[in-house]
Amino acid sequence: VRTRLLYASVLVFFLLFFFVPIASVYVEAFRGTGPAEALASVGRVLSSSRTASIVAFTTGQAAVSALIGVLVALPIAYAVSHYDFPGRRFVYSLSLVPFVLPSIIVVVCMISFYGKSGLLNAVLGTDYNLVYNFRGIVLAHVFYDFSLAIRVIASAWRSIDKRYREAAESLGEHPTGLFFRVTVPLLAPAVISGFVLIFIYTFLSFGIILVFGGVKFATLEVAIYQEVFIDLDLVSAAVYSLVQLVLSGAFIALSTRLINQSRVARVGSEADLPRLSSARPASRVALGAYLVLAVVFVLGPILTMVARAFVETGGSIGLENFRQLLVPGAADRNVESILRSSVAGVVWRSIGIAAASGTLTFVAAGAQIGRAHV
Amino acid sequence: MPAEGVVSHSVHNNLVRLIAPKYLSGGISMTFVYPASSQTTIGGVRRWFAGTALTLALALLVAAPLFASGSAESTDELVIYSYDAFPQSLETIIVEHFEQEYGVTATLERFQDTGGLYNQAWLERSDPGADVVIGLDNTYVGRALEANLFQAYRPEGADRLRDDVVIDPEYRLTPFDWGHIVLNYDSEQLPDPPRTWEELLDPRLRESIILMNPATSSPGRNFLLLTIAVHGEDGYLDYWRELESNILTVTSGWSEGYGLYTQGEAPIVLSYESSPPYHIEYEDTDRYRNLVIDDQGYLQVEVAGITNGAENPGNARRLIDFLMTDAFQRELPLNQFMYPVVQDIGLPDSFERVEKAAESVFIPVDRVDASFEHWLDDWREVMQ
C-alpha cells in the first residue's frame, strides 16, 4: 500500500508540475489552427536545417562532454574504490557539486578561473581564450557534471566480486588479461550509466550555453527559450521540446538496454580498503597527483569566485560588495530574492536529486531484470 | 541603465507568467483573493487586481445614479509594466507622487528586459494587465504601433520635448528619456583605442570586443542598426564578417556583457554614452571611457504608452504627464543614466566630462519595422 501511495504521489506530482504545464504550452502553440495546418507547420520546423543543426550540436556537445567527463572520473573512481586515504570522503562528496551549484554560478566560476582575466591566465601571464567557444562549453560541462560518474563507477568497481578475479588468476590469467576480460566487462554497465548521466544532464544544458554559446551555439533547451521569449514562435518551441523529450527518453531507454545486455554480476564485498600509502610507489604517486589535480580542477574555480566577491572596485579587499547588496532600495529586493531562490533552490535540488536517483534506480532495476534472465 | 536583464532565474518566473494568466485565472471566479505573497503568484496578484477592479466597478455601477456627476475614470489604481532594470528610486518617485497627489496606488511589475516587456504587452494585447508600459525603446516602436498596442495621448508639456526624440508624432508612444549607443573602452587595458570603423578591424584587437545579441538585447539591436546606417544595407554584413575575429563574445543581455567588461575580460564593450559617468559618479574613476567611432552614436529613445484597453486610463494619462515634468526628468541622469527628453535641464558634471557623439544616427522606425527581421536573419547567418 505504501509503495502504491508513493507511486500515486509521484504520478500526481509529475502530472501537476510537468505534464499539465507542458500540455498547456502545446495547446497555446496550436490554438486556432486546424490539425492539417498544425501538422504542416510541425513538419516545416522538423525539416528545417536550423533544427538539424541544433539537434546535432546538442547531441554532439553532450557526447563530447560525457566522454571526457567519464575519462576524468575513472581514475578518481578507481582511487576511492580501491584505497583509503586522507580526504577520501571529501573526494567522494565532490559528486554533490552538480546538485548544489546553479549553472549561472558555474559560469561565474569558469570566468573567474579560466577567463581571459582569470586566475589561470594571470598566473601564466597569458590571455588565452578558454571559455568563449566550444571548448569553453565542454570545459564548463566537464567541471559541472563529471563527478556524476564517480559514485556510480566507484560503487560498481568496489563491488566486483573478488572471487572472479581470484578464479581467473588461479587459471593463469595475467594482470592485463584480467583487466580486459574480467574488470572491463563487469565495470562497463557502470561506466555506461555514468556516461549516460552526464550525457543527459549536458544534453539539457541551459545557463552555460546561454552565456558561452554566444550566437553560434544553442542547445534544444536554449532554442526553446529563444523561441518562446524572443521570437514568440510557440510552434517551433513546441516542436523543439517534443524532439528533446523524445530524444532524452530514447537515450535513457537505449542505455537501459545496453546495461541489460552486459550482464552485471555484483556481489557487495565491503572489505576494508588498503591504505593508499601501501600501494606500489608508481601508482601511489600517479594517483595522488591525479587526485590533487582533480580537487584543484573543482575547487579552484569555486574558491576563485568566492575570493572575487571580496575584491572591491579599485582592487582593495573588503566587504563593500556585500554592503552594496544592502543599500536602501536594493536591500528589500535582494533579501527577498535570496530567500526566494534559496527556498526554490532547496526544493528544486531535492527534486533533482530524487529524479536523478530515480533514474539510477531505474537503470539499476533494468540491470537487475537483465540479471534475472541470465 | 535601462532595458537589460541578466540571464537569471527569472526565466522560470516568466514561464509561470506566460502560463499563469490563461490557465490559473480562468475557471474559478474569485472576488477577493489576497495573494499569499505578491511575488510568488503573479496570477494571484492579477486575480486580486481583477477582483478589486470588479468590486469597484460594481460599486460604481450601484452608486452611479447617486453621483451622477462623478467621473468613471477616477479609479484609485494604476498598473505599470517595466523591465527588471527600471530603477527602484524612480519607481518610488512615481508611487509617492500618485499616493500624495491623488491617493492612487501605483504598482510597478517588472518583466526581465525590453524584449520580455514587449512580449508581455503583446501576449496580453486583448486584455492588458497594465495601464502604462514604460521602457520600450525605438527598436520596438514600429512593431508596437503596427500591433496597435497603445492609444494616443499628447501629454501636457509635450511642447518642451526635443525635436529628435518624438518618434511617434501621434503620441501613442511618448519619449521619456534618450541616450546614445556607443562602444566603451577600458583605458587601462587599451591606452591607444581605435577611432574609426576601419581601425576597429585592426588585428591587434583580436578577441577584444564584447557585443550583445540584437535578437535579445536593445543595445545590441541599436548597434546593428548603427552598422546598417553607417555601412549601408549592402555593406553591413561584409563589415561584420571582418569584425568577427575581433569579437570575444556576443552576450544575450547588456548586464552580462558589461559585467564581463568590468571584470577585465575584454577592453571594448557595447554600452551607453552615459556608462562612463556612472563610474565617475559612484566609483570615482575615469578609467572607463566612451569610444565614439567616427563621432557617431545611435540614438536610443525610451518611450512610455497607455495600453489599448487600459482599466485606469485617467491615471495612465496623469502618469504620462508626470513623466514630462521637471520633477521626474531631472532625476533621470543619476538614476537611469539616460538624458532628459525635456529641453533646458542641466546635466551633472560627470556627464559633461565624458566624450560624446557629435552625430546622432537614426533609422526611421517604420523602416526598421519593415526590414529588421531580414536584417537580423542575414546577420545571424553571417555570425553563426
CA-nearest residue of chain B to A130? B248
Asked which of A218-227, A262-271, A296-305 is least confident by mean pLDDT, the reply is A262-271
With an 8 Å Cβ cutoff, is A117 touching chain B? yes
B142-173 exposure pattern, b = at least 16 Cβ within 10 A, e = fewer: bbbbeeebbbebebebbebbeeebbbbeebbb
pLDDT exceeds cutoff 60 at B2: no
Under 8 Å between Cβ of A73 and A123: no
Question: Could you tell me if B82 and B5 are in contact, meaning their C-beta atoms sit under 8 angstroms apart?
Answer: no
| Distance from the A228 Cα atom to the nearest Cα atom in chain B, whole angstroms | 9
DSSP secondary structure letters along B173-207:
SEEEEEEEEEEEEETTT-SS---STTGGG-GGGTT
* Chain A touched by B305 (CB under 8 Å): no
Pairing label, strands B174-186, B288-291:
antiparallel
Q: Measured between CA atoms, how close is B384 to chain A, in angstroms?
A: 5
Average pLDDT over residues B231-247: 96
| CA gyration radius, chain A | 24
Contacts of A139 (CB under 8 A, 6+ apart): A110, A114, A130, A131
pLDDT at residue B46 above 80? Answer: no
CB proximity A112 to B under 8 Å: yes
Task: Inspect the interface and report whether the beta carbons of A226 and B18 lie closer than 8 Å.
Answer: no
Question: Parallel, antiparallel, or unpaired for β B296-307 and B174-186?
Answer: antiparallel
Contact in structure between B350 and B280 (CB atoms under 8 Å): yes
pLDDT of A47 above 60: yes
CA distance A166 to A175: 11
C-alpha cell at A173: 590469467
B208 close contact with A: CB closer than 8 A: no
- Percentage of chain B exceeding pLDDT 70: 81
Which range among A133-147, A148-162, B65-79 shows the weakest confidence by mean pLDDT?
B65-79
**Gap from B335 CA to chain A (nearest CA, Å):** 12
Q: How far apart are CA A64 and CA A59, in angstroms?
A: 9
B301-327 pLDDT, tens digit each: 999 999 999 999 999 999 999 999 999
A323/B contact by beta carbon, under 8 A? no
Q: Which three cell numbers stand for residue B9?
A: 532565474
The fraction of chain B above a pLDDT of 90, given in percent, is: 70
What is the per-residue pLDDT for A199? 92
Distance CA(A202)–CA(A219), nearest Å, equals 9
Look at residue A285 and give its three-state secondary structure: helix
At A352, is the pLDDT very low, low, confident or very high (cuts 50, 70, 90)? low
- Extract the C-alpha cell encoding B74: 477616477
pLDDT of residue B13: 34
Residue A13 is predicted with a pLDDT of 78
pLDDT of A25 > 80? The answer is no
Tell me the pLDDT band of B25, cut-offs 50, 70 and 90.
very low
Chain A environment of B384 (Cβ under 8 Å):
215-216
Band the pLDDT of B16: cuts 50, 70, 90.
very low
The better pLDDT of the pair A144, A352 is held by A144
- Top pLDDT among A294 and B227 is at B227
Q: Which of A26-40, A194-208, B319-333 shows the highest mean pLDDT?
A: B319-333
Closest-CA residue to B323 (of B309, B346, B306, B300): B306
Which of the residue ranges A70-79, A333-342, B260-269 would you say has the lowest mean pLDDT? A333-342
Q: Provide the 10 A C-beta neighbour count for residue B335.
A: 17
Mean pLDDT computed over B282-298: 94
In terms of Cβ atoms closer than 10 Å to its own Cβ (0-12, 13-18, 19+), residue B380 is middle
Give the cell for residue A211. 552565456
Is the minimum CB–CB distance between A327 and chain B shorter than 8 Å?
A: no
How would DSSP label each residue in A242-274? HHHHHHHHHHHHHHHHHHHHT---B----PPPP
Q: Does the pLDDT at position B335 exceed 60?
A: yes
Q: Cα(A239)–Cα(A261) distance, rounded to whole angstroms?
A: 33
By C-alpha distance, the chain B residue nearest A315 is B263
> Is residue B126 pLDDT above 50, yes or no?
yes
Q: How confident is the model at residue A348 (pLDDT cuts 50, 70, 90)?
A: low
- Cα B270–Cα B276–Cα B282 angle in degrees, nearest 5: 130
| pLDDT for the residue A232 | 76
Name the nearest CA neighbour of A241 among A221, A258, A255, A260. A221
pLDDT above 80: residue A58: yes
Position A66 scores a pLDDT of 96
Residues A271 and A83 sit within 8 Å (Cβ to Cβ): no
Range from A76-90, A93-107, B91-105 carrying the lowest mean pLDDT: A93-107
| Residue B15 with chain A: CB contacts under 8 Å | 21, 228
The per-residue pLDDT for B66 is: 41
- pLDDT for the residue A304: 87
3-state secondary structure of B234: coil
> Binning pLDDT at 50, 70 and 90, where does residue A151 land?
confident
Give the residue-averaged pLDDT of A58-65: 96
CA distance A108 to A115: 9
Averaged pLDDT of chain A: 79
The answer, yes or no, to whether residue B45 has pLDDT greater than 80, is no
Which residue is closest to B213 within chain A, CA to CA? A215
Strand partners, B296: B359
A102 interaction partners in chain B (CB closer than 8 Å): 9
Q: Is the confidence at residue A322, as pLDDT, over 60? A: yes
- Whether residue A370 is predicted with pLDDT greater than 60 in this model: the reply is no
- The fraction of chain A above a pLDDT of 90, given in percent, is 20
Average pLDDT, chain B: 83
The alpha helices in chain B, defined as continuous H runs, are 10-23, 42-63, 88-102, 114-123, 138-146, 218-231, 236-243, 254-263, 275-283, 313-323, 326-329, 332-335, 349-353, 365-383
Nearest CA to CA, how far is A21 from chain B (Å)? 8
